[in-house]
Structure 1
Amino acid sequence: MTTAVPIEELVEIAASLGTPRTRIILGITGAPGAGKSTLGHRIVDALGPDKAVLVPMDGFHLANVVLLEKGLRQVKGAIETFDDAGYASLLHRIRDQKPGEVIYAPSFNRDLEEPIAGSITVHADVPLVVTEGNYLLAENGAWPSARDCLTESWFLDPEQDDRHDWLITRHMDYGKTAEGARHWALGSDEDNAKLIKATAYRADRVIQIQGLI
Structure 2
Amino acid sequence: MMIEQVTYYTDQLQEIVERVWINYDCTSSSRYLISLAGVPGAGKTTFANQIAMELSKKVAKTIVLSQDGFHLYRSELEAMPNASEAIRRRGAPFTFNAKAFVKLVSILHDKSIEINAPSFDHKLKDPVENDIMIARDVSIVIIEGNYVSLKDKFWNDISSLVDDTWFIIASEQLVRSRIIRRHLQAGIAKNEQEAIERTDGNDLQNAKYILENSKTTNVLIVTR
1:118 corresponds in structure 2 to 130
Asked whether the 8 Å contact 2:17–2:55 carries over to 1, the reply is: no
Of the three residues 177, 193, 203, the one matched with 1:189 is 203
CA distance in 1, matches of 2:46, 2:162: 19
Task: Answer yes or no: is the 8 Å Cα contact 2:48–2:142 preserved in 1.
Answer: yes
Q: Distance in 2 between matches of 1:98 and 1:117?
A: 21
CA contact (8 A) 1:11 1:46 kept: no
1:165 and 2:169 equivalent?
Answer: no
| Structure 2: distance between partners of 1:159 and 1:117 | 34
Q: Give the structure 2 partner of residue 91 of structure 1.
A: 105
The equivalences for 1:34-53 within 5 A come to: 34-48=42-56, 51-53=61-63
TM-score by length of 1: 0.89
Offset of residue 3 of structure 1: 3.7
Structure 1 residue 62: Cα displacement: 0.2
Q: 2: distance between equivalents of 1:90 and 1:2?
A: 28
Tell me what 2:32 maps to.
24
Superposition deviation, residue 137 in structure 1:
1.5
Identical residues among aligned pairs (%)? 26
TM-score by length of 2: 0.85
Q: Is the CA contact (8 Å cut-off) linking 2:8 and 2:16 kept in structure 1?
A: no
Over aligned residue pairs, what C-alpha RMSD do you find?
A: 2.0
Deviation at 1:10, TM superposition (A): 5.8
What is aligned with 1:66? 76
- Could you say which residue in structure 2 is the equivalent of 1:78? 92
2:150–2:214 CA contact under 8 A, matched in 1: no
Q: Which amino acid aligns with 2:160?
A: D
CA contact (8 A) 1:61 1:81 kept: yes
The match for 1:33 is 41
Maintained 8 Å contact 2:42/2:223: no
Give the 3 Å change call, closer, same or farther, for CA 161–28 of structure 1 in structure 2: same
Which one has the largest radius of gyration? 2
SS at match of 1:191: helix
Aligned residues: 208
Which residue, out of 10, 14, 24, partners 1:9?
14
Report deviation, 1:12.
1.8
Residue 151 (structure 2) aligns with: 139
Q: CA deviation at 1:189?
A: 0.6
**Structure 1 portions without partners, runs of 5+:** none
Shift of 1:98: 4.3
Distance between the aligned counterparts of 2:207 and 2:99, measured in 1?
A: 21
User: Deviation at 1:52?
Assistant: 0.2
Distance of aligned partners of 1:13 and 1:73 in 2 relative to their CA distance in 1, 3 Å threshold: farther
Task: Kindly indicate whether the alpha-carbon contact (under 8 Å) linking 1:106 and 1:115 is maintained by their aligned counterparts in 2.
Answer: yes
Aligned-pair CA distance for 1:48:
3.6
